[in-house]
Amino acid sequence: MQLVSASLIGLTLALAPVAALAERRSLAHTIYYQDLGYAIGGYDPVSFFRHDEPLQGQTTYAVMWKGVTWLFSSAEHQAIFEANPRAYAPQFGGYCAYGVSVGKLVSGDPHAFEIRDGALFMLHSPEVQVRWNGARQERLSAAQENWPEILRD
């Protein structure tokens, strides 16, 4: 019996790094919501920060990042994104932050968004945005907790 126990312990210890690597891979592989074949429905992610409103991107200014095509309204915005895409890509893959907070993947609407602490959060609709605003910190904490689990599924 000791031989079996020692073997099981050895196998468990040997596989622990593999399990940790799989966990890191799933977290590194963020999924991004696509509409019409483009991230954020073809809206320019930099425009949310630079213009306080979404601008429609153009196929002339396109970047493939994380397996998704991102469109931009100008060459300048494309270059800004390429220099630091994580700074401009929406949180939770562009899915509705409120939806993620309740464990669901729901489309984000480019016209219902919030920039908070330098991060872009998409919401499903203006009505959902009101609910998000009513309990923002609690919803954000729940979304951050749920997101890794959603990525694993």
Break the chain into its structural domains and give their ranges: 33-89, 90-153
Taking the chain (153 residues) in runs of 10, the rounded mean pLDDT of each run is: 42 39 43 90 97 95 96 99 98 97 96 96 97 96 96 83
Using DSSP's 3-state secondary structure scheme, residue 152 falls into helix
Q: Encoding tokens for residue 71?
A: 């469109």
What pLDDT, on the 0 to 100 scale, is given for residue 26? 39
Residue 36 has a pLDDT of: 86
- Residues 67, 97: Cα–Cα separation, whole Å: 21
Residue 143: beta bridge partners?
none
Q: How far is CA 138 from CA 51, 57, 114, 124, in A?
A: 28, 33, 15, 18
Instruction: Tell me the pTM.
Output: 0.79
How many alpha carbons fall within 13 Å on the CB side of residue 120? 27
Residue 116 pLDDT: 95
**What is the reported pLDDT for 75?**
99
First to last CA, the chain: 37
Question: In this structure, are residues 76 and 104 in contact, taking their beta carbons and an 8 Å threshold?
Answer: no
Alpha helices in the chain (DSSP H): 2-28, 45-50, 75-83, 85-88, 97-101, 126-134, 136-152
